[in-house]
Chains A and B, each alone.
Chain A
Amino acid sequence: MIYLNNPATSKKKPLSVVSRLIKETVFSSVGGGRDLSKTSLMADKRITEVQDYIAELFNIRTPERICFTGNCTYALNMAISGVVSENDHIIVTSMDHNSVLRPVYAHRNYTIVNADKSGYVNPKDIKKAVKDNTRLIVSTHVSNVSGTIQDAKEISKIAHKNNALFLLDTAQSAGILPINQKDIKADLIAFSGHKGLMGPLGTGGLYVDENVTLTPIIKGGTGSNSKNLSQPDFYPDILHSGTMNFPAISALGSGVKFVLKKGTDKILLHERDLAEEFIDRISNLGNVKILGSKDRNKRNGTVAFTIEGLDSQKVSELLLRDYGIITRGGWHCAYLAHKSLGSEKTGAVRVGFGIFNSYSDVKKIAKAVCEISKSI
């Protein structure tokens, strides 16, 4: 079986992640700081370590402001609900995932800035959308459909020039693209733990910059200030209500260490090379259309394509059934992205190369796509 659905989750994990997850689950399934045992104390110490690794990866100065959640969707919801009030205006992009669009849609007062056909959102268009009461601008860093990279630094500048906050969704970029918070200056960064960061399912997080006042949507026991009925106002406790999934967070730390050791420059290069090879091999097929940017520097290792006359979910089904290749067909929880890319009617087949994929995988899927496209 060839796994090419890395934008959904990185199915193959480094051995260090798997062994850490097993070890912690068996020996350290405790809440950090919830009892006086050495195990509990060590658990909390490990959580601070994992915060530090992520801070190192993102070049964040205040690791204690990195909070863990069950996934990036929770992080995005906490961020969006935590900083906007009823009359505030939010700007999002057509390339954003439903994990952004749905909570923003529920808020009601928003503008969606459309991307061009390559999936790129021009920051100038975001600037035009700013209103007096724009409180938050949200953008995905990399599209989960086409792999198109957005100009996070420029969007951040626009937000700040207009007294708005900038929330960067790094679900598809964390652990793959270099993310330099010192450069981007995002106010909030939501990340997924189980994709590019190589952690287990059920991990993600939110970084909240020091200048941001965020109201937590979840309040509860934090293992601190128990006598006080108010939610702690310090980080990370403010967003760490309830018992944390310590084994998963600890294993996430091993994933981040793997990424730090390998280097995002090497990871991105590898994934881009595979994507480029794949594009080269299928771009001459007359009925295959590749979505997103042709410029490899404007995309990551994700490639989406359509085959004329064939439904995308059918293509994905054929790839799995007849060739043993796992991809994802459909609209990828990002229908508006498909509208911008021109694939809203059929959806697209998304192929996401990861660090553990190889040229052999590229050859196999390219051959499969060729055969399927010729079978119509």
Chain B
Amino acid sequence: MGKIYVICESLNYTNRLLRDLKRNGIDAKIVSSPKNLNGCSYSVLLSDRYIDTINGLRQRYKIKNIIKSSETQ
């Protein structure tokens, strides 16, 4: 299983997304965003098995990018 970086418009949304994921029992954390990406300097990092969940939250949390961790190396 890989990981995904979820990059929101701002830290406010990043914090909210993290909080709501955790409330729903999804293990996630805030990390520095991969370089050269538009959006917040911080991302939410979590397992890529939640990609469908995250896609469903794009509008709510102003998600700009979802990047697989393998794509950032």
- Taking Cβ atoms with an 8 Å cutoff, the residues of A that contact B are 32-33, 36, 41, 44-45, 47-48, 64, 222-225, 227, 232, 234, 236-237
Instruction: With both chains docked as a complex, state the minimum distance between the C-beta of A281 and any C-beta of chain B, in angstroms.
Output: 49
The total of interchain contacts (Cβ-Cβ below 8 angstroms) comes to 45
Contact yes or no, B12 A41, CB < 8 A: no
Q: Measured between alpha carbons, how far is A222 from B9 in the docked complex, in Å?
A: 11
Chain B residues at the A interface, C-beta cutoff of 8 Å: 9-13, 15-16, 19, 30, 32, 38-42, 62
B40 in contact with A48 (CB, 8 Å): no
CB neighbours of A232 from chain B (8 A): 9-10
Among B11, B15, B19, B41, which residue has the most Cβ atoms of chain A within 10 A?
B11
Q: Kindly list chain A residues whose C-beta atoms are within 8 Å of the C-beta of B16.
A: 48, 64
Knowing A33-B41, A224-B40, A227-B38 are in contact, say whether A47-B12 is a contact too (CB < 8 A): yes
A selection of 22 A-B contacts at a CB cut-off of 8 Å is A33-B11, A41-B11, A44-B11, A45-B15, A48-B15, A48-B19, A64-B12, A64-B13, A64-B16, A223-B11, A224-B9, A224-B11, A225-B10, A225-B38, A225-B39, A227-B38, A232-B9, A234-B9, A234-B10, A234-B13, A234-B62, A237-B9
Asked whether B9 lies within 8 Å of A36 as measured between CB atoms, the reply is no
CB distance from B25 to the nearest CB of A (A): 19
Sorted nearest first, the 5 A-B pairs with minimum C-beta distance are A33-B11, A224-B10, A44-B11, A48-B15, A45-B15
Decide if B30 touches A41 in the complex (CB within 8 Å).
yes
- Measured CB to CB, the closest approach of chain B to A51, in angstroms, equals 8
Closest chain-A Cβ to B47's Cβ sits at a distance in Å of: 21
C-alpha spacing A48/B62, complex, angstroms? 15
Most chain B CB neighbours (cut-off 10 Å) among A36, A64, A232: A64
Which residues does chain B contribute within 8 Å of A236, judged by CB atoms?
12
Tell me the smallest distance from the CB of B30 to a CB of chain A, in Å: 6
Contact A36 B11 (CB under 8 A): no
User: How far is B9's CA from A210's CA once the two chains are assembled, in angstroms?
Assistant: 17
User: Which chain B positions have C-beta within 8 A of A225?
Assistant: 9-10, 38-39
**With a CB–CB cut-off of 8 A, which chain B residues contact A45?**
15
Contact partners of B42 in chain A: CB under 8 A:
33, 41
- Say yes or no: B12 contacts A44, CB within 8 Å: yes
Residue of A nearest to B19 (CB): A48
Q: How far is the CA of A33 from the CA of B38 in the complex (A)?
A: 16
Q: Shortest CB–CB separation between residue B57 and chain A, in angstroms?
A: 13
| Cβ–Cβ < 8 Å partners of A48 in chain B | 12, 15-16, 19
Can you name the residue of chain A whose Cβ is closest to the Cβ of B61?
A64
B10 touches A237 (CB 8 A): yes
CB atoms of A36 and B12 under 8 A apart: no
Interface pair B10/A223, CB less than 8 Å apart: yes
Question: Do residues A36 and B19 form an inter-chain contact, with CB atoms below 8 A?
Answer: no
Looking at the assembled complex, report how far the CB atom of A344 sits from the nearest CB atom of chain B, in whole angstroms: 45
Pick the contact of B15: A36, A44, A223, A224 (CB < 8 A). Answer: A44
**Nearest neighbor of B30 in chain A, beta-carbon distance:** A41
